[in-house]
Structure formats: C-alpha cells, structure tokens
Structure 1
C-alpha cells in the first residue's frame, strides 16, 4: 500500500471512530445526561455522530419522552429534529411524546410532533387528557391547539374519564371553561358512575363545581340546583 493510500485509509478510520465509539456505555450515559441537563447542543452533536434518537433509558423510556417529561426543551427540540425519530414510540404506560408535550405545555414541541404525524387521537388516554390536566401558563393554549387539530373533546380513557373530568380535578379554570365553551359534555359518567361535578367535588374545588353545574343547567334548563 502506498503512503498516500495508507493516509487515506487512516483518515477514513478516524472519521468513523466517533460513530463507532457511540456504542460504548460512556456515550449512552453522556446522551441521557445531556438530556437531563437540557444540553441541546450536546444532544444534537451526539445525534449527528450517529446516536439513535429512539434510544431508551435504563427504565425503558424513549429519549424524547425523557426530555419532555423533564421539560428539557432544548434537548427535546434536538431530538424532534433528528432523522429517523419515531414520534409514536411509547413507554410502558402507553404514553406518547405528544402526551408529555401536552402535559408540560410545550407548544413548540407539540406543533412539531403534529407536523410529523403524531397521533392526536390515540386510543386510551389521549394528549387532550394530559393537556387538560396541565397547570402551566400555556395549558389553555395547548388544549386549543389540540382541538384545532381535531382532538375528540369527549375522548374516553380506559375507565371512561373525559378531558373535562381531568381539567376540573387537576387543571386550571381557564382550561375547564374552554372545554365547556367548545362543547365538552358535562353530563357524561365514567365507569364508576362519576361525572365532572363529582371529580370537582372530590378535589374540593367549589369554583369548578359551579362552572360545571352552570354548563349542565344550560344543557338541561329544567334540572334542579346542585
């Protein structure tokens, strides 16, 4: 082999070395540490060098779900921009990336995921259930976004719980009001026979009880006082 060929061969091996090196434990740990610290630049660098954007942490959580749950927004943006990302990768609880973005009120991530065909109306618990439970300043905007993207407003969870029920127990008054104004049915019951008013009462949220009771009376004007 000539000196020139040996040099070219060495350069090719050197260029490939960073990618091959990503298989070792150190790179794996660095990747998830960068996500935890919301170091978007480090995540993007590892992805450019060949790290799998669909890698799972030791608990089996997809990297993007880890980033979104931890509200690591720069890391999440880097992952969403990565080639080969599988936006519908789920964890053991059947949570999707869009569900976690919805819960955290991460509008930019939610919009990007929807453009990548994330399922707005997945079966079971939906992104709208999670958005309705959120308490961030963008919670109402997130609910509005999902409704604009044809999220089913009265989606039933595996136990029949609706987004309105989640909102009145865990979410904000703005979100509950928005759901009612957009047509959520306040009279529905879950598998335990509980309505949205029952959820609000269990949480001792008098303002939510009043909000839902007014919605019920508008639908059933002859019904008695709550």
Structure 2
C-alpha cells in the first residue's frame, strides 16, 4: 500500500512542476495570452504590446493600456531593433496613426527619445504624414527637438523630400534656421 502512495506522490509532484514551468514561461514573457481576447501575429518573440503597436492592432493596444500597472513609457523588447524600445517610437516609425493617437490619449511621453530620435523625427524621416500631423497636434510636442546628431524633424523631412511634412512642421512652429 505504501508503494502506491509513493507513486501517486511522484505523479502529483511531476504535475505540479509541469504546471509551475508553464506559469513561469507565461509570466516571463510579461503577459498572459489567455487574458488577451484578440489575436496577434507575434511570431518575432517580442513583447505582445510591441507586436500590437507594430501591427496597428488598436484593440490589443487598448487591452494593455487598460491594465492598472501598465507603464506606457516603458521600453519593451522589439524584434526590429533587437533591444528594448518604447511603443510610441515604434508606432511612429511604422506609420500606425491610430496607435500613435491611442498612445497620445493615454499620456505617453511624446518627446521620449530612443537613440536620440523622437517619434516625430522617425515619422518625418519615413514619410508618415498622418502620423506627423497627429504628433504635431499633441500638446507639449517639441517640433524642434534635434536628434543626437543635431538634425531636426524639419531637416530630415527636407532631406528625404517630403514637402507636405515640411509644410506641417513649419506650420507647427519648426525653426528652419536651426543649424547642426
């Protein structure tokens, strides 16, 4: 009779360790897909919040923004950069205007930089006129904030040949006399 209980104890212990391993993997990623009611195409191994921002999945972005202890300005793992980056930067870089607006509405730091570049800078650099328009309308945006190299969003928009973005930046108060 004692041998049967020892076998059951081993079975229970094995099940417990298996369940503990599963929970540890879910917690290590930073989110639990069981709670996320939307489907993401996150095949890159990045944080689900970053995948949602990259994909333009506003429903998933809202899910994270609605979490009580979620820090919108935290930098999360991002496959595109192979290191942590903040969501506003990524959404602006890939031209996700709805996500950018959601992040602005949730009080994300609009002037936060990553490697010296602001979300406005990368949106201007990549020709995302709707994102630039959304960002320049945000309260507290610095349209003249230069990258660590000294170039401004206005400079990069001129260099890349985006006249509509140049006009938007000038109307928003960009200074064309800044030299670097």
Assess same fold via TM > 0.5.
yes
TM bin (shorter chain): 0.5 to 0.7
The answer to whether 1:121 aligns with 2:73 is yes
User: Structure 1 residue 165: deviation in Å?
Assistant: 0.7
Q: 1:207 aligns with which of 160, 164, 169?
A: 164
**TM-score normalized with structure 1 length:** 0.54
Flag the structure with more relative contact order, 1 or 2, with Cα contacts below 8 A and sequence separation at least 6.
2
Give the gaps of 5 or more residues in structure 2: 38-44, 76-83
Between the two proteins, the alignment pairs up a number of residues equal to 160
User: Structure 1 residue 186: deviation in Å?
Assistant: 1.9
Separation in 1, partners of 2:137, 2:61: 23
Aligned to 2:53: 102
Separation in 2, partners of 1:158, 1:172: 20
Give the gaps of 5 or more residues in structure 1: 24-45, 56-61, 65-75, 82-90
Separation in 2, partners of 1:142, 1:79: 21
Over the aligned positions, Cα root-mean-square deviation in angstroms equals 3.8
Aligned to 1:170: 126
Separation in 2, partners of 1:142, 1:162: 16
Q: 1:108 to 1:10 in 2, by over 3 A?
A: farther
Whose helix proportion is higher, 1 or 2? 1
> Which string of whole-angstrom CA distances, capped at 9 and with x for unpartnered residues, describes residues 171-220 of structure 1?
63221111112243322222222111122233333332232223237xx7
User: Structure 1 residue 128: deviation in Å?
Assistant: 1.2
Q: Secondary structure at the match of 2:142?
A: coil
> Which string of whole-angstrom CA distances, capped at 9 and with x for unpartnered residues, describes residues 7-43 of structure 1?
x6545544554554689xxxxxxxxxxxxxxxxxxxx
Aligned to 2:25: 52
